[in-house]
Structure 1
Amino acid sequence: MKTSMRWTHTLWLFAALLMLFAACKDKTPDPAPVVTVATITSIDPATAPVGSTIAINGTNFNTSPGSNTVSIGGVTATIVSASATRLVVTVPTGAQTGAVAVTTGGQTVQSPTTFTLAPSPVKPTATLQGTIFQNRTLSKDTVYVLKGYVYVAADYTMTIAPGTVIKGGGPELDPLGKNAAGTLIVERRGKLIANGTAASPIVFTSNKAAGQRKPGDWGGIVLIGKSPTNRPGVTTYFGGIRGTAETYNEPEDNSGLLQYVRIEYAGTGQPLVADSKLAGLTLIGVGRGTVINNVQVTQSSADAFSWYGGTVDAKYLVANRTTRNEWATNWGYVGRVQFGVGLRDATVADPAGSNGIESQNYDPGENADGTPITRLNGLPQTAPVFANISTFAFSTAPTAISAASPGLGYYQSGVYLRRNTGFSLYNSLIYGYPEGVRLEGTTTGLAASLANGTIDLRGNVFANTLTSAAGSGTITSSVASAYLATPAFANQFVGTADVGTLALNGANFNAAAPNFVPQTGSTLLAGAVSNTKLTSGFFVTTTYRGAFGTDNWTTGWTNFNPQNTDYDR
């Protein structure tokens, strides 16, 4: 009986094993997951210029544009539309001939054929000349050429689209036959709206072919407003500009907007007019209703930026390889400027003297007896406030001032204050000039402004100079040096042997592609001072000295070497 039961259990166990084996044998394994891989079958068209649209045909693309990434020659393109079999994209700036790559669903595939970058078509040109008595809009699809003095008349506005190129013609193109180089002048009550973007700056440049451009090929840009100057109303304008200063007193006047604008190779002298060079950007009586931000002036044969009276403010200015002065103030200018950088070519200077900043208040021969200038239009004195400026001349020890040494010897001062100016400068870097500051004047004029705080220089760094301060007129060099070294002013002096403590960027003096952001550990990244003149809503509070902390605000919109840039396409 027990044996029978054991056999019965064994049979049941054997049967269970057979059933389990059969079940395992009959079970179908799960299928492997299917991975959907995109393919590129064709590019239509396979040859196209920058800015045009092309279609990438294939399979298994994501229908959401943002879920695909397309690169053309290694540069990411903007996707206009997407379907499972077609991606339409814009050929991006910087694209090169090469394969097209699509990344979607974590997979990247490349086109079996090569995309060829075609040259962009040459844009049509249009002429601007004479006086414009209408509202005018300039398009980026056309290249414009200024011939002679071009005036935007009172009560009219010139609007310029982002990416537009305007070329200044040479004296030979003057339609009046007076050999006046192309110059854009916006008259009082007129407006210039030049609102570029970082990606598409507006460019004013030479009409010469690439490779042949030089400083002074054309005149520059002039804005004239109704903000006060300290000139008599009958004062005629300089540089051959028509009209007189008059006696307007509207500090909030608005002459328009310049933002993300480049001005290249301007500053030519005009015929039959003494001392007639205009700056890259000349501002006469321009009011603070005007917006000026992110403007670069490259290789002006005169000043880069010049203010003649007015109240207009400005931020983020670049003076690149200027011949004369980088920033010049005159005629009672009382505006505010913050964040400006200047980089010089140490082999090029003006025989009249090249400075980083030059500020003055009246013309030669005036106030010869030391009597304070007569108050005009409520402005007795040029008294702007500048902050966070960096100006770089010589990268090595500068050459001494000498009229017998053309070129190199004409460099003067990082800051040149004279003729009863009331200039203030804070938290700035003056580097590589023979003189850090020159104070020129009389005991009843400029010296009085030093004593009462009208002139105020604090929190600044003077580095790699032969002398930190010099005096002229009745102000001695010892008085100038003592003023600048006043402990409460917190100015710093760094000799040529010690400039390593500033830890400047390794590309700081790279003429073609400079980078001015100091390295980590730079003494420039701390030490900024505060002052009541910096408490207005205009100024940004900084802890650093010079134009840069950790943000390179010149990135994207500037061009430090435009000699060979193709502006015709």
Structure 2
Amino acid sequence: MNSLNKKQILGSLLGVALITLAACKKDDPTAPITPPTSASAFTITDLGNNTNKVEGSSSASFTFTSNKQWLLQGFVYVEDGATLTIEPGTVIKGDKNSKGTLIIKRGAKINATGTSTQPIVFTSNQAAGSRDYGDWGGIILCGRANNNQPGGEATVEGGPDAYYGGGSSPNDADNSGTMQYVRIEFPGIALQPNQEINGLTLGAVGSGTTIDHIQVSYSGDDSYEWFGGTVNVRNIVAFRGWDDDFDTDNGFRGKGQFCLGLRDPSIADQSGSNGFESDNDASGSTAAPYTMPIFSNVTFFGPYAVSGGTPNTQFKRAAHIRRNSRCNAYNTVFAGYPTGILLDGTLTEADAANNDLQIHGCVVAGCPSALETASGSTFDITSWFNTNGWGNSVLPNVSDLGLSTPIALNAPVLLPNGGSPLLSGADFTGHASDPFFQQVTFRGAFGTQDWTAGWCNWDPQNTAY
């Protein structure tokens, strides 16, 4: 394992395709940029001030050590067979001008194992007080698990020269490494319509991969997006994102537990910002495997649940399940969005009626329109949601949850108060009986312990790195 402490390290060459830029989908959180367009050797340059610049593509394993800061210049690739190791407490910055982005390709691994007292931090290279949405690209992990794209593989969104999926030989247990106690701040860029780099992009990542205790903050697109795959996640936070918190597509079938989506009321995407957004694929086809994630113990705090001014009118739903997705939610709190849950489309409604799409033990609170279907639908979502034994409920106000609301963004109090209805009523039947899930008694992301304490940062704009 080579440590990146030399002035120049040469690796393999990799060409990056030229991208023709079009108008961005965002309300311009970032100006359009041109990614690297020519072959680039893997190089490390000592910039002084205890900082190394990293660029290009490496076929050899290497380490980001905590005694240096690391600057990602353009698209930085870890190639098939190589492992990037990152020591606890390491700070990695994405270059704003070149939109630095880290891409772990199929067959490569990342070993980013921070701790609660020494989290690994990916952040902007701009000074405190001058950081913004989309200062850099983000992190992209590509694996060889199954998905529903033609031929079992596809190029990752956003322009990188990288495929996800195992093609004709998928491996749902594929291992892309470990990410634990990692913060990802000010990432997310929109290069073209429907061609965005998210805070953390997971393309056909397999269940052999470990992902937990991740905070994505101020992403210029989705905080997290899954394209197929089977990777499971725990203890993840989407903080003050621009578009959706958790976006699942293209046959994603992993599981997630203890997840938080916390929004800035003033910031939303012109396409409509949601907590969950879930599609089987872009056309809503019957392509298999179906997008069928199972989430439990998620809390979404939308604009009406958070202090901070007049809510942006582009906020839409805490959960938008559409295009034949079978997204499952258990023991989840949908709070303070204009709409709580929207089941969108006849195929999605049929999935719900057939119990392929299950929502149990969930609470919709403080959403003016709690439950919706698409215009013209005859599906009775209210009767379905209130099915006896499923333990779902609608509360008129966010305050009915027994939380310290409205939530203060810079110092959120996340635990339910004594007597809160969230401290009991969890349901782990049906799809949630899977052994992955910790069968806690509470609903929402938190019971009596704040698992964000010590490693999350609620004010990265003003943190000196």
Equivalent residue for 1:318, pick from 208, 217, 237: 237
Confirm or deny that 1:491 pairs with 2:392.
Answer: yes
Aligned ranges 1:551-562 → 2 under 5 Å: 551-562=449-460
The question of whether the paired residues in 2 share the 8 Å contact of 1:351 and 1:407 is answered with no
Q: 3-state SS of the aligned residue for 1:539?
A: coil
Seen in structure 2, the aligned counterparts of structure 1 residues 425 and 134 have a Cα distance that, compared at 3 Å, is same
Paired residues of 2:110 and 2:176 also in contact (CA < 8 A): yes
Structure 2 residue aligned with 1:328, among 234, 247, 254?
Answer: 247
| Pair 235,188 (structure 1): closer, same or farther in 2 beyond 3 Å | closer
Asked if structure 1 preserves the Cα contact closer than 8 Å seen for 2:264 and 2:306, the reply is no
- In structure 2, the CA distance between the partners of 1:396 and 1:136, relative to structure 1 (3 Å rule), is closer
Distance change in 2, residues 1:134/1:457 (3 Å): same
The answer to whether the 8 Å contact 1:231/1:245 transfers is no
Find the partner of 2:263 among 327, 344, 355.
Answer: 344
| Mapped partners of 1:332, 1:511: distance in 2 | 33
| Deviation for aligned residue 1:474 | 5.5
1:160 to 74, 86, 89: 86
2:184 paired with 1:263: yes
| Amino acid of the structure 2 residue aligned with 1:226 | R
Instruction: Name the CA distance, whole Å, in 1 between partners of 2:362 and 2:81.
Output: 42
State the alpha-carbon separation in 1 of the partners of residues 389 and 419 from structure 2. Answer: 25
Q: Would you say how many aligned residue pairs link Structure 1 and Structure 2?
A: 413
Deviation of 1:468 after TM superposition, in Å, equals 1.0
Cα offset, 1:450, TM superposition: 1.0
Q: CA deviation at 1:564?
A: 1.5
Aligned to 2:95: 169
Which residue is equivalent to 1:436?
A: 340
Structure 1 CA distance for aligned equivalents of residues 49 and 161 of structure 2: 33
Letter in 2 for 1:501: D
Shift of 1:268: 1.5
Distance of 1:531 and 1:296 partners within structure 2: 29
Q: Is the 8 A contact 1:441 1:474 kept in 2?
A: no
In the TM superposition, what are the counterparts of 1:351-362 in structure 2 within 5 Å?
351-362=270-281
Retained in 2: the 8 A contact 1:127–1:144? Answer: yes
Q: CA deviation at 1:249?
A: 1.5
SS in structure 1 at match of 2:140:
strand
Of residues 525, 535, 541, the one that matches 2:433 is: 535
Residue 169 of structure 1 aligns with an amino acid whose one-letter code is D
Q: Given the two structures, how large is their TM-score scaled by the length of structure 2? A: 0.85
Identify the residue that residue 217 of structure 1 maps to in structure 2: 135
Q: Which has the higher contact order (CA 8 A, sep 6+)?
A: 2
| 1:253 counterpart = 2:151 | no
SS in structure 2 of the partner of residue 482 of structure 1: helix
Question: 1:275: Cα distance to partner?
Answer: 2.5
Aligned to 1:544: 442
Matching residue's letter, 1:151: Y
The 8 Å contact of residues 439 and 475 in structure 1, kept in 2 or not, is answered as no
How big is each residue's C-alpha offset from its partner over 1:97-122, in whole Å with a ceiling of 9 and x where there is no partner?
xxxxxxxxxxxxxxxxxxxxxxxxx9
Partner SS, residue 380 of structure 2: helix
Which residue pairs with 2:22 in the alignment? none
Taking structure 1 as reference, are residues 349 and 374 closer, same or farther at Cα in structure 2, changes over 3 Å only?
closer
Q: Which amino acid aligns with 1:211?
A: G
Shift of 1:532: 3.0
Residue equivalent to 1:414: 318
Aligned to 2:100: 182
Question: Percent of pairs identical after alignment?
Answer: 38
1:487 CA drift (Å): 2.7
Q: Within 2, Cα distance between the matches of 1:183 and 1:239?
A: 10
Query: Does 2:292 correspond to 1:374?
Result: no
Aligned match of 1:230: 148
Counterpart secondary structure, 1:553: coil
Are residues 456 and 267 of structure 1, via their aligned partners in 2, closer, same or farther at CA, if it must alter by over 3 Å? Answer: same
Q: TM-score, normalised by structure 1?
A: 0.70
How far off its partner does 1:446 sit?
1.4
Q: Which amino acid aligns with 2:277?
A: E
- The structure-2 alpha-carbon separation of the partners of 1:194 and 1:397, relative to structure 1 and needing over 3 Å to count, comes to closer
- Is the 1:469–1:481 Cα contact (8 Å) retained in structure 2? yes
Q: Distance in 1 between matches of 2:240 and 2:420?
A: 25
Determine whether 1:133 maps to 2:59: yes
Letter in 2 for 1:424: N
Match of 1:195 among 113, 126, 131: 113
1:161–1:462 CA distance, 2 compared to 1 (3 A): same
**Aligned partners of 1:161 and 1:196 also within 8 Å:** yes
Aligned residue type for 2:326: G
Preserved CA contact (<8 Å) 1:447 1:475: no
Partner of 1:124: 50
- C-alpha distance in structure 1 between counterparts of 2:350 and 2:279, whole Å: 15
1:269 Cα deviation after fit: 2.0
The correspondence for 1:393, drawn from 302, 307, 311, is: 302
Show CA shifts across 1:322-355 (max 9, x none): 1111111001000000001111011110001100
Counterpart of 2:287 in structure 1: which amino acid? T
> Which structure's residues are more often helix, by fraction?
1
AA aligned to 2:437 is: F
Aligned equivalent of 1:514: 412
Partners in 2 of 1:208 and 1:397 — Cα distance? 27
Pairwise CA distance, 1:475: 3.0
- 5 Å-filtered alignment, 1:429-468, equals 429-442=333-346, 445-468=347-370
Secondary structure of residue in 2 paired with 1:481: helix
Residues 487, 276 of structure 1: alpha-carbon distance in 2 compared, 3 angstrom cutoff: same
Instruction: Tell me the alpha carbon deviations over residues 252-273 of structure 1, each in whole angstroms, 9 at most, x when there is no partner.
Output: 1000000000000000123xx4
Deviation sequence 1:346-369 (CA, Å, 0-9, x none): 1110001100111111114x64xx
Return the alpha-carbon distance in structure 2 between the equivalents of residues 374 and 387 of structure 1. 25
Q: Root-mean-square deviation (CA), in Å? A: 1.8
On the 8 A contact 1:232/1:245 being kept in 2, the answer is no
Instruction: For structure 1, list consecutive stretches of 5 or more residues without a partner in the other structure.
Output: 1-121, 175-180, 368-372, 399-405
Residue identity opposite 2:257 in structure 1: Q
Question: How far is 1:245 from its partner?
Answer: 4.2
1:4-19 equivalence runs, <5 A: none
Aligned-partner Cα distance in 1 for 2:306–2:55:
46
Say if 1:210 and 1:541 are closer, same or farther in 2 by CA, change over 3 A: same
The letter for the 1-side match of 2:387 is: T
8 Å contact 2:259–2:445 — kept in the other structure? yes
Aligned partner letter, 1:165: V
Structure 2 residue aligned with 1:148: 74
- Asked whether the equivalents of residues 305 and 407 of structure 2 are also in contact (C-alpha less than 8 Å), the reply is no
Look up the match of 1:565: 463
Retained in 2: the 8 A contact 1:330–1:359? Answer: yes
Secondary structure in 1 aligned to 2:150? Answer: coil
Q: Residue 523 of structure 1: CA displacement?
A: 1.1
Relative distance call for 1:265 and 1:397 in structure 2 (3 A) is closer
Structure 2 distance, partners of 1:362, 1:374, is 8
Question: Aligned partners of 1:430 and 1:560: how far apart in 2?
Answer: 21
